[in-house]
Structure 1
């Protein structure tokens, strides 16, 4: 049964984890995951919940092209389905998409899915978003791979509106526009946290200026202080700190 969301305490170190089983890249998957299933995934999530982890996270890929299957693996569970499953079997741990490639879907579709997860979990969603890197996925769904950075920026703006408090959200952008379309249920949280994934200069800037948090990608530990300082400086310069 879902419980009340646990806030992230300011100034305090907390731990979260990317869950096993739900994504099985050869870069990090353990041999036991190949034959694991829903109960194994559930037990790890329950253990994290009991141990006081801040969040558990799931990945997002629609389809892996043959040319990348050897390096990335082919097992990638749908993140919304996994987070909804976990919402019903955990009580306090936050549920993070790490990360949702939101450019692959219309913002109203993404908002409907993740607002439902937030509602089912009692307000425990953290929406992690990223630009994506697999050209074939974008081409398969008719999305703009070459313009994925600008696509992500506009998608984030549209999601802020669509996940906000209004039953009839309003947004006008270059790619997306909507009004007079009811979206219920609304999220439990008044403001769903949006964390930006990636460590490129563009991703770091996006995290600073558009996000509520940052999800580094492949940074060695000794590089993190400089990246965090950069984010703080950008936020201060924009008056967002």
Structure 2
């Protein structure tokens, strides 16, 4: 099972292009497509990025389309496309809204992807927030938290080594149904739980193999990480591997000649590394990076500068 233990700060990246919310998409992404995704994925693989991440939305209602856009690539299709063009970097759904689908359907997709990629899948899961999506697919929006709790447990069974997995829960049950190929990872691919609400943090601590916070500022992370440690200790889970994530502020390595935004970490590699080491001091073991850029070439150039000049200063 893929893990990112304490002792060093691993770094991954959310792919551009595949989701184009106005909160973070750069203008150049609007006219980009497969060629740019391939270039970024190959750069991540070449420069030691721990993972590539892809979001999940089935359909966006008109009331949200202005802010969220309707550009949301399917994560399994996108990560499968990029798996064939990469060798080392892991493939993360950040996050799959697994309550929209039966766990056996989700397991079939991600087990196949793990098999084809040689064991590089990380299944990030979340509760979702768009009611119309749930309504259109016949899923229970009001109970999505409870559904996610059970779905995570069911997915652990469905993604395990058994050809005929079995699960019996309040809402979901299956047995006597075989699925091959099985995942390449043993005992199964990791499940990272996304979200920063009290329920999501508890879910990550007690059911997940890792935590993906939802954009918490640094000052909010320490208390939540401590709560995860406490909950896992009380449940007897503190001896098992667990990956703690964080979303870093936007980055720009070097001196920017354009407006990269007030919140962007920019400047000399040493200053950026010092800022990121503060995450490690909080107990974070992997940090998701987002680089400001005006083109795919500038983005891959930033990734190279980070890998060559910043990453060596983190250890």
Tell me what 1:194 maps to: 191
Consecutive unaligned residues of structure 2, counting only runs of 5 or more, are: 239-315
Correspondence for 2:123 among 124, 127, 146: 127
The residue aligned with 1:36 is 32
Which of the numbers 227, 231, 238 marks the counterpart of 2:235? 238
Please, what is the CA RMSD of the aligned residues? 1.1
Alignment of 1:1-241 (within 5 A): 8-190=4-186, 191-241=188-238
Distance 1:7 1:217 in 2: 20
Deviation at 1:8, TM superposition (A): 2.7
Contact 2:2 2:122 in 1 (8 A): no
Unpaired runs of at least 5, structure 1: none
Give the conservation status (yes or no) of the 8 Å contact 1:49–1:91: yes
In the TM superposition, residue 135 of structure 1 has moved relative to its aligned partner by 0.3
Is the 1:60–1:101 Cα contact (8 Å) retained in structure 2? yes
Q: In structure 2, do the counterparts of structure 1 residues 7 and 148 end up closer, same or farther at CA, with 3 Å as the change threshold?
A: closer
Greater shift in the superposed pair: 57-66 or 67-76: 67-76
CA distance in 2, matches of 1:96, 1:183: 22
Cα displacement (A) at 1:230: 1.0
Structure number with greater Rg is 2
How many residue pairs get aligned? The number is 237
What TM-score do you get using the length of structure 1 for normalisation? Answer: 0.96
Aligned-partner SS, 1:56: strand
3-state SS of 2:67 partner = helix
TM-score computed with the length of structure 2 as normaliser: 0.74
Residues in 2 aligned to 1:231 and 1:67: alpha-carbon distance in whole angstroms: 35
Q: 1 CA distance for matches of 2:104 and 2:182? A: 12
| Kept after mapping to 1: 8 A contact 2:158/2:165 | yes
- Could you list the runs of 4 or more consecutive aligned residues of structure 1 that deviate by over 6 angstroms after TM superposition? none
Aligned-residue offset at 1:7: 5.3
SS at match of 2:40: helix
- The answer to which of 46-55 and 222-231 deviates more is 222-231
How far 1:71 moved relative to its partner? 1.4
- Hey, what's the Cα distance between the residues in 1 that align with 2:83 and 2:130? 29
Secondary structure at the aligned position of 2:64 is classed as: helix
CA distance in 1, matches of 2:4, 2:118: 16
Partner SS, residue 96 of structure 2: coil
Q: CA deviation at 1:9?
A: 4.4
